[in-house]
Chains A and B, each alone.
Chain A
Amino acid sequence: MTTAKTTTAETAVEQAEFDRLIESDSRVEPRDWMPEAYRKTLIRQISQHAHSEIIGMQPEGNWITRAPSLKRKAILMAKVQDEAGHGLYLYSAAQTLGIDRETMFEQLITGAAKYSSIFNYTTPTWADMGSIGWLVDGAAICNQVPLCRASYGPYGRAMTRICKEESFHQRQGFEILLELMRGTPAQRAMAQESVNRWYAPALMMFGPPDDDSPNSKQSMAWNIKRFSNDDLRQRFIDMLVPQAEVLGVTLPDPELKWNEARGHYDFGPLNWDEFYEVLAGRGQANAQRVAKRKKAHDDGAWVREAARAYADARMEERLAS
């Protein structure tokens, strides 16, 4: 990336040190010099990830009050709360790059920052709690495990913590579906119908095919991203098929079959027009998700203001004494 700064001798030394860190697969820490483009890429990616955690609370939060058993209610509450926690670590990681939470929140509300489009799909049935865990969190794990080794230290460390909890989330989603598939005909139908809706959107979570993914190459060069979108998608499908067999659900892709020569499952084309439609704001719930986040924030403004005023007054008292 060429900027006016990179022409100075001092910056050239810093750039060389940064390049050495990346080349030796070492960690870049907040106080280290880093190219502006690297910083911007990380802010974009980490804040999007944080926003995804926070917006992602909504489709599941939708079922906390209706969870069909107390055990499921407890697990769901814990899970949604974990997501708030993940959002908090990630916002903190982004803050180390020089952006504050209020700015990131504004970017979310105004649409300047994106979040994972998957959360613009709705959750009309309880089985969707299973599908989100199994498919959506499953895809997220495939994406996120390599991020534990991301070159930026605070991001990698946040991801290590998040991935531990995500694998629990995926397991509970699988268990919800397993319980449904072992249940009544109505429960089995509910599970299959939900898997039919979530399967393709989950595969699209890895992003567009490599040829259409403009940011991937640079992110891989910087050791932020470790595997390409298509590689991760393939890895996910290979993992999913045997699990679907255990569940007894059908994955809605007639072209899905084992390819001995490749050592992978072949799969049919995905509807990328739908992906871009949802990305452009025309998903089932784009407006609703952002509006709800904004409402919670606006309704709580007086609470945060009171907490600030109280903290300021205590600080003044301490300074005066």
Chain B
Amino acid sequence: MNHSNHVKSTAITAESIADSSVVASDAVARYALGLGDDALVLAHRLGEWITNAPELEEDVALGNIGLDLLGHARSLLTYAGTAWDRSEDDLAYFRDESEFRSRQLFELPNGDFAQTIARQLVSSTYFVELYRALSLSRDATLAAIAAKAFKEVSYHLDHSTQWLQRLGLGTEYSRERMQSGLTVVWPFVAELFSADPAADALDAVGFDGIAVGVESLRPAFDALVPRLIVAAGLTVPELPAARGGGRVGIHSEALGPMLAEMQVLARAHPGATW
């Protein structure tokens, strides 16, 4: 592990990481890969909203949030790839479904706008806590990526909180849709805060202080999200947790078709650059 060559935290991008001499260790790369996949899958889903949003302002807003997440994904995958001499695109386009390490929440289909907002509420809260903690990582590159991402996901949380309020307290119909959206995403909350084998592996080899133990973030989530839901006139769902398994390559049926579409052109021209 080489911490001396770290990239400047003010303007960290996929390109600046690729151009630097930073090389992640295999263990750090595996951890970054999971985080990168989370951001990539959710970014792709938000990209699906563009041209379909309920108002033009939301085409812009959801597109912006998706772009921020795509930026995080590119940095994290580029960094992961330094360990294996693979580019962000090698990792995004030339791995199969079972090799993706994203948590299942992110691949959930968009559903209607309320379901997307429910997924955004949970995701953004999780990302805020994750990146806040990860910005203190002993790994300078992860810390820099997280510090930049933290500012952005804070805005994302604001966006979803405002829509939660509007839909929860808007009309009877919007309240029903918002409640139904929460019901769809809620079983996938538990997986977000369940152990990450890649993070545990880092600790096991004495790299503690690099990854974030997501189990420790749950209290902050529980202190915020149920309160927001209740304040929006809605009920916190009481549902059993889904089985999860995204971090070991087990996914819902939604991911395969999503990747098939995402990867189709790149795979039709292996070795090409774009």
Contacts and interface: CB of A to CB of B under 8 A. Distances in A.
B233 to A, nearest CB: 11
Residue from A186, A187, A300, A301 whose CB has the most chain B CB atoms within 10 Å: A300
A87 B57 CA distance: 10
A70 B54 contact: no
A183 B270 CA distance: 11
A297 B53 CA distance: 8
B200 interface: no
Contacts of A84: 50, 56, 59-60, 63
A133 to B, nearest CB: 14
B170 interface: yes
B169 A313 contact: yes
Contacts of A12: none
A87 B174 CA distance: 27
B59 to A, nearest CB: 4
B-side interface mostly: helix
A69 B169 CA distance: 41
A71 B177 contact: no
A77 B70 contact: yes
B34 interface: no
A-side interface mostly: helix
A70 B51 contact: no
Contacts, number: 147
A270 to B, nearest CB: 30
A27 interface: no
A80 B177 contact: no
A313 B272 CA distance: 56
A214 interface: no
B266 A65 contact: no
B174 A306 contact: yes
B10 interface: no
Interface string B33-57: 0000000100010011011111111
Closest 6 CB pairs of A and B: A300-B54, A306-B170, A306-B174, A81-B63, A303-B54, A61-B51
Given A66-B264, A303-B174, 18 more contacts: A65-B47, A65-B261, A69-B266, A70-B14, A71-B274, A73-B47, A74-B70, A78-B67, A80-B63, A84-B50, A84-B63, A88-B60, A295-B52, A296-B53, A299-B112, A300-B58, A303-B54, A303-B167
Interface of B: 14, 40, 44, 47-48, 50-60, 63-64, 66-67, 70-71, 73-74, 77, 88-89, 92-93, 112-114, 165-167, 169-171, 173-174, 177, 261-262, 264-266, 269, 271-274
Interface of A: 54, 57-58, 61, 64-74, 77-78, 80-81, 84-85, 87-88, 91, 126, 176, 179-180, 183-184, 186-187, 292, 295-297, 299-311, 313
